[in-house]
Amino acid sequence: MVSTPALAVNSGRQYLPVPATDNPSPNQFLLPLTAKLNSQDHLEVGGCDVVDLVAQFGSPLYILDEKTLRTACQQYRQAFQQYYPGESLVIYASKAWNCMAVCAIVASEGLGIDVVSGGELYTALQAGLNPETIYLHGNNKSLSELEFAIEQGCTIVVDNWFELETLAGLTGDRPIRIMLRLTPGIECHTHDYIRTGSIDSKFGFDPQQIEKVYEFISQQPSLECVGLHAHIGSQIFELQPHHDLGAVMVQWFTKAAQYGLPVQQLDIGGGLGIRYTESDDPPSIDEWVKAVCLGIVQACESQGLTLPKLIAEPGRSLIGSACVTAYTMGSQKVVPDIRSYVTVDGGMSDNPRPITYQSVYRAAVANRMSAEMSETVTIAGKHCESGDIVIKNAQLPKTQPGDVLVVMATGAYNYSMASNYNRLARPAAILVHEGEASLILERETYQDLVRQDRLPERLKQ
């Protein structure tokens, strides 16, 4: 694993990537791999000055580094090729950040995509993805979403009996390609809200019902069950649970053959964590893939089975560390002997994770990266909500209104969970690469906020 970057000076410099190898794992760094200081003591990402980007595109601003995202995609794909003797496929869990540009990038790196709604599916298709590489998840897919996926030729990951029976009742010209999601009963240390592998989960079939499920599918000529799926959670630093998952899934795989089902794929989900603070120490992408592959290979060898096609669904560890969010700092308030507040022009509408998951982030002042961190402050958002706190007890230099604050590792679940709370317009997002900045999401306008409002005639003045 990569050790915490050396704290040579107590300043924003300490957060810059310090690769220990020629192929650093992006999930082990707080800032994108291209982050550096320029001659003005400003933070650069993707060869672009963050202060200049805010001046050009406004704030709040999501800044996505293309090299970091591509590096993570390549590391996953290459690691599976190295450690798994059979066929493999990496698919991006796009709920982390689903937009056309991100979908297009991961597809160009040879990845498939996992979607969890008709909207995410439509976006992936608009980005040009091959429907055969798209997998539709969800515990309560609507009939229209199912029909949309079937029409496009996607694989549907079936979550429950209601969905399975609904699919069996549909008729068409070709079999419906499905995978079954089962709950493995494997515990891991992560937030309760993102733990999905325990038996007490809203996701997946109960494994005690597996033979009943297999029997039902074997009697449905319209259903082609090609694989099995399981996922144990998110933001996980442990390797053993993912290794153990292989043995559990191979047991299910063996039973499927007894019912004549053409199960040839095992999808072990994702879940590898990223570094949000200096104390976080996640495994590298390479280490995670090696553990997963070893678990499947050992389990198959013990049963004398031919290796199935192995699928993984990383999301956060692909894109989380590739993005930073830039804000403009505003008002300040000192509560004597209690707390000092500094505010930014965003908050819970562009990053709801602190108020939702009590998530912790790190920040730096992008226009004075080498300044000594002399103050402990609470970074507050601008929303009319006492809980709108971006970071409690943050270490920052003395700041002033107009400074550009950068919050790190905001690529996963920030834009995708963003809202219009207080009728704030959602931020713009840009893609940076080798000194070029491209707009990938336009900033919403006030007109966008009222675009779907309707005023009854009797209320019009």
Same domain, yes or no: 32 and 130: no
Beta bridge pairs of residue 134: 113
Distances from the Cα of 161 to the Cα of 56, 139, 181, 206, 244, angstroms = 52, 10, 11, 10, 26
Same domain, yes or no: 115 and 217: yes
pLDDT in tens, 352-387: 999 999 999 999 999 999 999 999 999 999 999 999
Q: What is the H or E stretch that residue 395 is in? A: strand 389-396
pLDDT in tens, 27-64: 999 999 999 999 999 999 999 999 999 999 999 999 99
Same domain, yes or no: 195 and 222: yes
Give the CATH number, domain containing residue 397: 2.40.37.10
Classified as helix, coil or strand, 178 is strand
What φ, ψ does residue 217 adopt, rounded to 5°? -65, -35
> What pLDDT score was predicted for residue 20?
81
Distance CA 103, CA 315 (A): 12
Same domain, yes or no: 114 and 145: yes
The closest alpha carbon to 93, from 345, 412, 426, 323, belongs to 412
Alpha carbon 155 to chain centroid, angstroms: 20
Total number of domains constituting the chain = 2
- Give percent above pLDDT 70 in the chain: 94
Same domain, yes or no: 97 and 183: yes
* Average pLDDT in the chain: 92
Distance CA 396, CA 393 (A): 9
* Residue 41 or residue 241, greater confidence: 41
**What's the distance, Cα to Cα, between the start and end of the chain in Å?**
65
Same domain, yes or no: 92 and 73: yes
Average pLDDT of 272-296? 95
Structural domain contains residue 1: no
> What pLDDT score was predicted for residue 242?
84
Same domain, yes or no: 290 and 196: yes
Structural domain contains residue 457: no
> What pLDDT score was predicted for residue 189?
45
Residue 196 has pLDDT above 90, yes or no: no
Structural domain contains residue 258: yes
Distance CA 36, CA 17 (A): 8
Same domain, yes or no: 223 and 248: yes
Same domain, yes or no: 47 and 150: no
Distance CA 266, CA 286 (A): 19
The domain containing residue 233 runs over which residues?
A: 67-319
Strands (E), 73-203: 88-93, 112-115, 134-136, 155-158, 176-181
Single out the catalytic residue among 73, 154, 293, 384: 384
Structural domain contains residue 354: yes
pLDDT in tens, 86-141: 999 999 999 999 999 999 999 999 999 999 999 999 999 999 999 999 999 999 99
Same domain, yes or no: 56 and 106: no
Helices 285-303/240-258 angle, 10° precision: 40
Structural domain contains residue 179: yes
Structural domain contains residue 212: yes
* Residue 245 or residue 309, greater confidence: 309
Residue 347 backbone class (left: φ over 0; alpha: ψ -120 to 50; beta: rest)? left
Structural domain contains residue 79: yes
Residue 384 among the catalytic residues:
yes
Same domain, yes or no: 248 and 364: no
Task: Write the DSSP string, 413-453.
Answer: SSSTT---GGGPPPPEEEEEETTEEEEEEPPP-HHHHTTT-
Q: Are 198 and 183 in contact (CB under 8 A)?
A: yes
Structural domain contains residue 461: no
> What pLDDT score was predicted for residue 204?
87
Please identify, among 264, 285, 319, the residue that sits at the C-terminal boundary of a domain. 319
List, in sequence order, the alpha helices (H) in 338-415: 353-357
Residue 344 has pLDDT above 50, yes or no: yes
The closest alpha carbon to 255, from 243, 266, 242, belongs to 266
Residue 207 has pLDDT above 70, yes or no: yes
**What would the two tokens of residue 190 be?**
């992560």
Q: For the chain, how big is the Rg over CA atoms in Å?
A: 23
Same domain, yes or no: 253 and 136: yes
Distance CA 113, CA 224 (A): 20
Give the CATH number, domain containing residue 164: 3.20.20.10
Please identify, among 303, 319, 335, the residue that sits at the C-terminal boundary of a domain. 319
> What pLDDT score was predicted for residue 186?
63
List, in sequence order, the alpha helices (H) in 219-368: 240-258, 285-303, 316-319, 353-357
The closest alpha carbon to 340, from 386, 381, 379, 388, belongs to 379
Classified as helix, coil or strand, 44 is strand
Please identify, among 255, 287, 319, the residue that sits at the C-terminal boundary of a domain. 319
HSE-CB for 98 with a 13 A CA cutoff: 22
